[in-house]
Structure 1
């Protein structure tokens, strides 16, 4: 499949695995890239920039295909050394970087000066236009359905994707709610040049997630996610479990909840333990509404080949609707 995004990234299919904390490791990224998509390592999953360089080398030993590194920059009382992680990405020879959150001009200029391709993920057209002006090479536009942070505008992909495509001149990647060939076809029909998936790739054999967590999420429906941090204006979508329920209850109080009150429940160490040890009721697990479209845990190669076949079938069906049946009144009128 040839689109602007496959040409830009040098991949066979316009399918990107998004960065996911604790999940974006070499095994998954290499499997996605080997299957023709773009795998993505998550920089901050690694404890320090030196460990990130080692992870890049480990991934490169597993694939000859292109892969990316995600660097998400968020406000924090004790921020990690973002500039050092950015330099590690450059030093490791990676050619594609997925940025998200804030878009510091200094880091963007550093990446651009070294010739890296920047795919910036954002949740609003106005933010996408700003990223384009700052030099992003492509935009991953994240709809309200997505796992993680959907922004504060609550605009779903059916509106956000074509709105972004109408305003941007650089390639647009649809993110949020994409999990199969039909949703991929819909995104392409709306004008996107490719798709980005997190939740769907988390539920693959190669993802470093405990089998019991995968089994639980496969049983979930589109109604089994919830929004947290609404009162903090840092909205996030997660799987509905006892931890997210406790956070919701605290936030529903008349006085709301401060982050310090929520911190014991949402600590990253709890989420990591949930994913890696199968303690699915003991930490936050980020997941999108596309859970309702997922009913198996395939390997990445099977998933991508199936998606591409389903996508082509869906696009053909849509195209066929534009051609009247030989027996229809419309075709007889034209005859």
Structure 2
């Protein structure tokens, strides 16, 4: 396939693996890149910039295809050394970075001077336009169906994607709610030139997740996700389990809720333990409504071949109907 996204990133198919905490390691990223998409290492999964450098080396030992690094920039009392992670990306010759959270404006000039392509993930058109003005190369637009943080506007992809492609001059990657070639075809019909998938890649052979968690994703329906942090204005979508139910119950209690009231429940280490141990109720498991479309656990190669074939079939069928 050939779109501005494949040309920009140097990949065969316009399919990007989203950056996911504890999941975006060399095992998954290399498999996606070898299959023709863009695998993505999650920088903050690594405990330090030095550890990220080692993970980049490990990924290079597993693929000779392009791969990227995700860096989610969030305000916190003790922020990670974002500038040092950026230096590692540049020093190691990685040519694609996916940014999310706050604006990457402070790093854009340096990244572009070193030939790094920047794909920024947004949940609204206004933020996408700001990112375009700041100089990013492409925008990944995240619909309300997505896992992780869908923003506070609650606009789903069927509306958000065509709004973004109408407003932006740079390429748009559709993210959220895509698990198969039908979704990819729909996104392209709406003007997107690539897709970004997170939850779907969690249910693959190469994903570094316990088999019991993968099976939970297969069993789940589109109704089995939960919105948390709504009252804190930092909405997140996760797989429904005992922890997410307790978080929502805490938010709804009389008198309201502060983050400190749920902090221990939602800690990253608890989520990491759940993914690695297979104990579904041990911590948060981030997942999008797209779980309702996941029925198996293929290899990344099998998944991408299936998606591309189904996308072509869907576009041809739609074209025939129009004719």
Q: TM-score range by the shorter chain?
A: over 0.9
Aligned to 1:85: 85
Aligned to 1:137: 137
Q: What CA distance in whole angstroms lies between the structure 2 residues aligned with 1:256 and 1:212?
A: 34
Q: Deviations over 1:282-317 (max 9, x none)?
A: 100000000000000000000000000110010000
Q: What CA distance in whole angstroms lies between the structure 2 residues aligned with 1:155 and 1:239?
A: 20
Aligned to 1:333: none
Q: Secondary structure at the match of 1:321?
A: helix
Confirm or deny that 1:207 pairs with 2:170.
no
Q: What CA distance in whole angstroms lies between the structure 2 residues aligned with 1:148 and 1:108?
A: 24
**Structure 1 position 216, deviation (Å):** 1.1
Question: Between Structure 1 and Structure 2, how many residues are aligned?
Answer: 323
Confirm or deny that 1:95 pairs with 2:95.
yes
Confirm or deny that 1:287 pairs with 2:293.
no
Confirm or deny that 1:48 pairs with 2:43.
no
**Structure 1 position 260, deviation (Å):** 0.6
Q: What CA distance in whole angstroms lies between the structure 2 residues aligned with 1:46 and 1:269?
A: 13
Aligned to 2:260: 260
Q: What CA distance in whole angstroms lies between the structure 2 residues aligned with 1:179 and 1:116?
A: 28
Q: What CA distance in whole angstroms lies between the structure 2 residues aligned with 1:9 and 1:33?
A: 11
Q: What CA distance in whole angstroms lies between the structure 2 residues aligned with 1:175 and 1:256?
A: 32
RMSD between aligned alpha carbons? 0.7
TM-score normalized by the length of structure 1? 0.96
**Structure 1 position 217, deviation (Å):** 1.3
**Structure 1 position 110, deviation (Å):** 1.8
Superposition map of 1:146-295 within 5 A: 146-295=146-295
**Structure 1 position 104, deviation (Å):** 3.8
Q: What CA distance in whole angstroms lies between the structure 2 residues aligned with 1:230 and 1:268?
A: 19
Q: What CA distance in whole angstroms lies between the structure 1 residues aligned with 2:232 and 2:74?
A: 14
Superposition map of 1:101-116 within 5 A: 101-116=101-116
Larger Rg: 1 or 2? Answer: 1
Identify which range, 40-49 or 108-117, moves more after superposition. Answer: 108-117
Q: Deviations over 1:246-266 (max 9, x none)?
A: 000000113221111110100
Identify which range, 231-240 or 103-112, moves more after superposition. Answer: 103-112
TM-score normalized by the length of structure 2? 0.99
Q: What CA distance in whole angstroms lies between the structure 1 residues aligned with 2:195 and 2:160?
A: 13
**Structure 1 position 103, deviation (Å):** 1.3
Query: 5+ unaligned residues in a row in structure 2: which ranges?
Result: none
Q: What CA distance in whole angstroms lies between the structure 1 residues aligned with 2:240 and 2:89?
A: 34
Aligned to 2:39: 39
Q: Deviations over 1:39-75 (max 9, x none)?
A: 0000000000000000001001111110000000011
Q: Deviations over 1:13-57 (max 9, x none)?
A: 010000000000001000000000000000000000000000001
Query: 5+ unaligned residues in a row in structure 1: which ranges?
Result: 324-335
